[in-house]
């Protein structure tokens, strides 16, 4: 009933949601599908030797975003601790597991601070990392603790050799503390299959090649996981098999298989349209899905652009202009970027255009963020990179255009272009020639 206040939902019951938490992207279902093998391996390769034989083992866990790594390791860890607390009075304080998300603790100092605080050891701010690491190792040794340290998003520590610094100390405790007793096992979780290449040999050897890869889910598996999720979250099935297929193919094709996007699409639909009766009988759902998927893509790209500076946006705009001319290789994109930089210098007082490397890195980042897709083709003398939009081109163009407009860049670029051609007294054909020249 409309009572004119805009709060007419007060007094109503939500009719679709059974468990709101299950609509969050980091919710962990009791039953994780299709990961039995991986769970078994983590149990037998890390937890079991640590518990039964006082042995430390280190393990790398790889997998693309949204393949269930965090959910699985957190679930195993919770279960292990619950069983331990309930069934083994004698050993329950002998084994300690610590979960650290390195993303929020991405320097050795932050990492050790967090680790030590979880183990109840004071971090001394006046001390060096080495001194603190020694203090930590001494604590573990004195209490004869068996520790399992889970480093989620370990590649966040990759910068300037940070990961080596942390891992070196943790994997060789007897080198920093004479007569070390107790154990330290590491589970390092990462998106980057090449992370080993950034590790020193001495660190790599302590992992002994032990790794588990979480393969990306197939389309059918994505459908089952999303279907399970709606069963947990909703009072009745709202997404039909056909709807789930659509969501799963979007996850696969547009979001590199990141299942979070599927969960996000479902919860967006529910929050925006959940109370409409039309959802329940399946009508219009295909339209609603299309519209939701577009909105999410647009939101992603806006979020991506929110902290980008002029030069970044110029690369994006150069990309858009090139693509419209059916030019998808690096060189034409770079030339366009340089041209835009010249205009920008006239009216925006910016520094001059940046290097090939800068532009390549930005395009790589756009690739990593599912905005464009980079594919490298082999040619006679080497390789050539091609870039195609992953987000529908018109959404991409519209979003970048709005941002450029909002920042006032278009107007300035236009003025810059006029000024540039006046000062250089160029005819149109001369201008074209100049534009074509690669710097
Ligand atoms: N096999 C599965 N069965 C049920 N739900 C799953 C499964 N795999 C993933 N999920 C759900 O998908 C979401 C994302 O999973 P998770 O956070 O574990 O991904 P991730 O591999 O850690 O990604 P990232 O590398 O980005 O951190 C979570 O809500 C999780 O519960
Ligand atoms: Mg994760």
Q: Whose CA is nearest to atom 8 of ligand 1?
A: 68
Cα of 263 from ligand 1 centre, angstroms: 10
Protein residues with C-beta less than 5 angstroms from the ion ligand 2: 70
Residue 26's CB is within 10 A of a number of other CB atoms, namely: 10
Would the pLDDT of 280 be above 50? yes
- Both tokens of residue 132? 């603190």
pLDDT attached to residue 414: 84
Instruction: Please indicate whether residue 101, judged by its CB atom, sits closer than 6 Å to ligand 1.
Output: no
- Would you state the pLDDT for residue 170? 92
In the reported structure, the alpha carbon of residue 265 is separated from the centroid of ligand 1 by a whole-number distance in angstroms of: 15
Of ligand 1's atoms, which has the minimum distance to the CA of residue 221? 1
Using the mean position of ligand 1's atoms as its centre, give its distance from the Cα of residue 215 in Å: 12
**So where are the chain's domains?**
35-214, 218-305, 310-425
What sign for the dihedral angle of Cα 333, 409, 344, 359?
negative
Per DSSP bridges, beta strands 59-63 and 382-389 are unpaired
Fold assignment, 310-425:
Arc Repressor Mutant, subunit A (1.10.10)
**Are 35-214 and 310-425 equal in CATH topology?**
no
Q: Which residue has the higher pLDDT, 317 or 435?
A: 317
438: confidence class by pLDDT, cuts 50, 70, 90: very low
Q: Which of 259, 263, 370 to mutate to test the pocket of ligand 1 (most atoms within 8 A of CB)?
A: 259
Task: Report the predicted TM-score, pTM, of the whole model to 2 decimal places.
Answer: 0.86
The reply to whether ligand 1 has any atom less than 6 angstroms from the CB of 71 is yes
Are the CB atoms for 117 and 126 separated by under 8 Å? no
For the 35-214 domain, the top CATH level (class) is alpha beta
Q: Whose CA is nearest to atom 27 of ligand 1?
A: 65
Give pLDDT tens digits for 401-417: 999 999 988 888 888 88
Whole-number Å distance, alpha carbon 65 to ligand 2 midpoint, is: 7
Residue range 42-66, pLDDT digits in tens: 999 999 999 999 899 999 999 999 9
Closest CA to 65 of 211, 205, 197, 257: 257
Residue 98 has pLDDT above 70, yes or no: yes
- Ligand number with the minimum distance to the CA of 26: 1
Is it the case that residue 348 has pLDDT exceeding 90? no
> Distance, CA 188 to ligand 2 centroid (Å)?
11
pLDDT of residue 3: 66
Question: Reduced to 3 states, what is the DSSP secondary structure of residue 65?
Answer: coil
* C-alpha torsion angle, residues 53, 59, 63, 67 (rounded to 10): 20
Residue among 55, 49, 45, 44 nearest 183 (CA): 55
259: nearest Cα among 114, 101, 72: 72
Distance, in Å, from the CA atom of 66 to the CA atom of 226, rounded to the nearest integer, reads 12
């Amino acid at each position: 009933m409309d009572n004119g206040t805009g709060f007419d939902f007060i007094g109503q019951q939500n009719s679709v949601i059974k468990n709101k938490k299950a609509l969050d992207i980091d919710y962990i279902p009791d039953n994780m599908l299709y990961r039995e093998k991986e769970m078994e391996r983590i149990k037998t390769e890390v937890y079991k030797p640590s518990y039964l034989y006082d042995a430390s083992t280190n393990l790398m866990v790889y997998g693309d975003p949204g393949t269930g790594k965090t959910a699985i390791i957190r679930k195993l860890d919770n279960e292990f601790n619950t069983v331990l607390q309930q069934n083994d009075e004698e050993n329950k304080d002998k084994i300690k597991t610590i979960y650290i998300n390195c993303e929020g603790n991405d320097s050795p100092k932050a990492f050790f601070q967090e680790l030590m605080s979880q183990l109840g050891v004071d971090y001394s701010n006046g001390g060096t990392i080495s001194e603190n690491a020694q203090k930590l190792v001494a604590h573990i040794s004195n209490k004869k603790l068996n520790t399992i340290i889970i480093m989620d998003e370990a590649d966040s520590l990759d910068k300037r050799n940070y990961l080596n610094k942390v891992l070196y100390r943790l994997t060789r405790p007897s080198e920093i503390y004479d007569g070390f007793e107790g154990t330290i096992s590491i589970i390092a979780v990462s998106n980057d299959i090449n992370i080993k290449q950034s590790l020193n040999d001495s660190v790599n050897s302590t992992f002994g090649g032990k790794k588990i890869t979480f393969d990306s889910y197939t389309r059918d598996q994505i459908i089952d996981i999303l279907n399970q999720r709606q069963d947990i979250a909703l009072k009745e099935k709202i997404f039909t098999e056909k709807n789930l297929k659509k969501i799963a193919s979007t996850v696969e094709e547009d979001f590199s298989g990141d299942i979070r996007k599927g969960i996000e699409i479902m919860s967006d639909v529910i929050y925006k349209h959940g109370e409409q009766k039309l959802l329940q009988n399946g009508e219009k759902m295909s339209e609603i899905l299309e519209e939701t998927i577009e909105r999410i893509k647009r939101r992603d790209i806006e979020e991506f652009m929110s902290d980008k500076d002029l030069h970044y946006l110029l690369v994006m705009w150069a990309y858009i202009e090139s693509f419209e001319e059916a030019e998808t290789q690096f060189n034409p994109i770079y030339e366009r970027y340089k041209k835009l930089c010249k205009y920008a210098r006239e009216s925006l007082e910016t520094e001059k255009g940046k290097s090939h490397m800068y532009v390549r890195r930005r395009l790589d980042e756009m690739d990593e963020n599912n905005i464009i897709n980079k594919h490298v083709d082999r040619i006679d003398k080497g390789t050539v990179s091609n870039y195609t939009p992953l987000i529908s081109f018109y959404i991409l163009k519209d979003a970048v255009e709005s941002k450029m407009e909002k920042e006032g860049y278009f107007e300035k670029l236009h003025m810059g272009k006029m000024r540039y051609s006046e000062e250089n007294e160029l005819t149109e054909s001369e201008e074209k020639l100049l534009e074509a020249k690669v710097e």
